[in-house]
């Protein structure tokens, strides 16, 4: 008898082993064999788990391709963590908005920036595809009704007005500015205040509804249903006190977010994020999509990585101060993107850092983000109050001032307009530690997918019928996080590809597709 005949083929073996691994990630996510499902409560073509920007984009594309689509959301309200974000999409290579505002950008420059500024061993095929199709993707967002204004700002930080284009990342800071020609690539809905994410979802969700996507809130994906050969047949859902078996004839898209609100998973996989003061994401970010994918044989990547944010600006004048570690030494250019600063603090400085300011660089208004822990008339007295090693801060400031007098920064090459000597009391130390400062964080690790958003097994093969996007995936965003908008851009772009790819999947045992999802649920909630 062959190994396959005895049920020992590598797919079966992998699924069994992965189910054991998934038990350490999230309880109750082990894959269910198709043979144990006696009947289907619901039948659809494509099942999308999650209603953030990744799930909504997948649902839109699948429905536009002619599939019946059911999109579920674990929480009572649609929108996912995307609705809480700034709604920025990192796009370039000559988008219609860039061209309208006279901004010159190329696919090559965008690609070189992402590769050079991100973490080692990037998924180059995904980056190349994203950059090449970035302009088209922005036009797609316009087609969905996302509003953008033809306004550009060069101010550092997320626009609080209705400007739609800005430098959203580390493009102008060293060493990124030497890796690629800088260009503003942060595309944010043109609405006042930090409400871009909500406005983005107010476009995508009604668009999905208008196309005929069936949605249901307070409904959670629990376990994937797997055929004997490893193909994904559907999913077990819980809705209230009901457990429902859903047949997904074309495929399942996992877009359930990350795991920032799963304390056990954080402790196990991303301990550097565990103590960050603000878990940034909605309550549904429990890692269930990742766990279900692993239980079905999927591979997880970069589970230790995340976005740790130290937003020391605005205002820009504080960037003429310096940021030091527990040894009172500088470790990064202060004008670096706040995601890179946060990563440096959380992952490389033991979660502790201080900003040192003088009368010219101090915050001019009440600061809720950071606490001033010490104030003094001299640098030496300030160092003593904070508890820095004797003489260390005085040496750091003296060295910095020596070159800053000529607007130079030989250590980290901070932009000249932010470089000036630290002189003139009162001197203050601001606590930038991950526990005491306003230090939001969310996760980047997740399932391994290819450029078509297919979930990849530990053997390197796509799992038939299983797709994933958003923060359920180890996608374009990596640590250090280099630019606002790369996450939402990744969610929407690869969410679209997941939806299209799911519709194209067919195998001989699939029944003929009929119109309409057999569901007792209303079309939109």
Residue 508 above 80 pLDDT?
Answer: no
**Domain segments of the chain: what residues?**
10-84+198-306+444-504, 89-193, 310-431
The pTM assigned to this predicted structure is 0.91
Find the distance separating the first CA and the last CA of the chain, reported in whole Å: 53
Residue 505 above 90 pLDDT?
Answer: no
Tell which wins on pLDDT, 503 or 27. 503
Residue 181 above 70 pLDDT?
Answer: yes
Per-state percent for the chain, helix, strand, coil, to nearest 5: 30, 20, 50
Residue 25 above 60 pLDDT?
Answer: no
CA angle 290, 293, 298 (to 5 degrees): 115
Tens of pLDDT, residues 98-146: 999 999 999 999 999 999 998 888 899 999 999 999 999 999 999 999 9
**What integer is the mean pLDDT of 468-479?**
97
Residue 386 above 90 pLDDT?
Answer: yes
pLDDT at 490: 98
pLDDT at 363: 80
Concatenating the DSSP letter of every residue in 308-366 gives: E-----SSGGGGGSEEE-TTS-B-S-TTS-HHHHHHHHHHHSTT--EEEE-TTTS-SS-
User: What is the β-pairing status of strands 214-216 and 186-187?
Assistant: unpaired
CATH topology for the 10-84+198-306+444-504 domain? FAD/NAD(P)-binding domain (3.50.50)
Residue 304 above 90 pLDDT?
Answer: yes
Burial class (CB in 10 A: 0-12, 13-18, 19+), 89: buried
Please, where are the H alpha helices in 24-161?
53-64, 96-100, 107-117, 124-132, 134-143
Give the residues across from 429 on adjacent strands: 356, 374
Residue 299 above 70 pLDDT?
Answer: yes
Radius of gyration of the chain (CA): 24
Concatenating the DSSP letter of every residue in 456-512 gives: EBTTS-EEEEEEE-GGGB--S--SSP-BTTHHHHHHHHHHHHHHHHHHH---TTPPP
* Averaged confidence pLDDT in the chain: 91
pLDDT confidence tier of residue 514, bands split at 50, 70 and 90: very low
CATH number, span 310-431: 3.90.700.10
pLDDT at 114: 97
Listed range (98-112, 117-131, 249-263, 383-397) with the worst mean pLDDT: 117-131
């Amino acid at each position: 008898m062959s190994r396959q005949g005895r049920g020992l083929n590598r797919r079966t073996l992998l699924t069994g082993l992965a189910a054991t691994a998934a038990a350490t990630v999230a309880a109750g996510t082990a894959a269910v064999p198709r043979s144990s499902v006696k009947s289907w409560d619901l039948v659809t073509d494509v099942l999308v788990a999650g209603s953030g920007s990744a799930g909504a984009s997948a649902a839109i594309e699948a429905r536009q391709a002619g599939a019946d689509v059911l999109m579920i959301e674990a929480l009572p309200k649609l929108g996912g963590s995307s609705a809480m974000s700034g709604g920025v999409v990192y796009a370039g290579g000559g988008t219609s908005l860039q061209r309208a505002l006279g901004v010159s950008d190329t696919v090559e420059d965008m690609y070189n920036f992402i590769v050079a500024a991100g973490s080692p061993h990037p998924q180059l095929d995904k980056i190349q595809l994203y950059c090449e199709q970035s302009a088209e993707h922005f036009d797609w967002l316009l087609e969905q009704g996302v509003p953008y204004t033809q306004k550009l700002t060069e101010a550092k930080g997320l626009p609080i007005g209705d400007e739609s284009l800005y430098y959203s990342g580390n493009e102008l800071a060293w060493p990124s500015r030497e890796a690629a020609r800088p260009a503003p690539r942060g595309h944010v809905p043109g609405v006042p205040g930090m409400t871009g994410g909500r406005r983005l979802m107010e476009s995508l969700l009604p668009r999905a509804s208008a196309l005929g996507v069936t949605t249901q809130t307070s409904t959670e994906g629990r376990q994937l249903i797997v055929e004997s050969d490893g193909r994904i047949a559907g999913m077990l859902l819980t809705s209230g006190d009901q457990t429902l078996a859903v047949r997904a004839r074309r495929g399942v898209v996992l877009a359930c977010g990350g795991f920032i609100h799963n304390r056990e998973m954080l402790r196990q996989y991303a301990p550097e994020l565990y103590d960050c003061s603000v878990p940034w994401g909605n309550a549904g970010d429990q890692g269930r999509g990742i766990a279900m994918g692993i239980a079905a044989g999927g591979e997880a990547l970069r589970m230790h990585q995340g976005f740790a944010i130290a937003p020391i600006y605005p205002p820009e004048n504080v960037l003429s101060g310096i940021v030091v570690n527990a040894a009172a030494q500088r470790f990064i250019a202060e004008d670096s993107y706040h995601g890179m600063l946060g990563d440096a603090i959380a992952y490389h400085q033991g979660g502790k850092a201080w900003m040192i300011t003088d009368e010219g660089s101090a915050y001019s208004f009440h600061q809720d983000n950071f606490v001033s822990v010490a104030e003094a008339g001299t640098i030496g007295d300030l160092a003593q109050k904070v508890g820095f090693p004797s003489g260390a801060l005085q040496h750091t400031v003296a060295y910095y001032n020596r070159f800053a007098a000529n607007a130079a920064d030989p250590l980290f090459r901070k932009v000249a307009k932010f470089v000036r000597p630290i002189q003139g009391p009162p001197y203050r130390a601001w606590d930038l530690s991950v526990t005491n400062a306003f230090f939001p964080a969310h996760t980047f690790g997740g399932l391994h997918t290819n450029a078509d958003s297919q979930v990849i097994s530990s053997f390197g093969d796509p799992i038939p019928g299983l797709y994933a996007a958003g923060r359920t995936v180890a996608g374009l965003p990596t640590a250090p996080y280099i630019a606002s908008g790369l996450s939402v851009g990744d969610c929407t772009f690869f969410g679209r590809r997941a939806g299209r790819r799911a519709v194209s999947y067919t195998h001989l045992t699939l029944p003929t597709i009929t119109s309409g999802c057999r569901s007792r649920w209303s079309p939109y909630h």
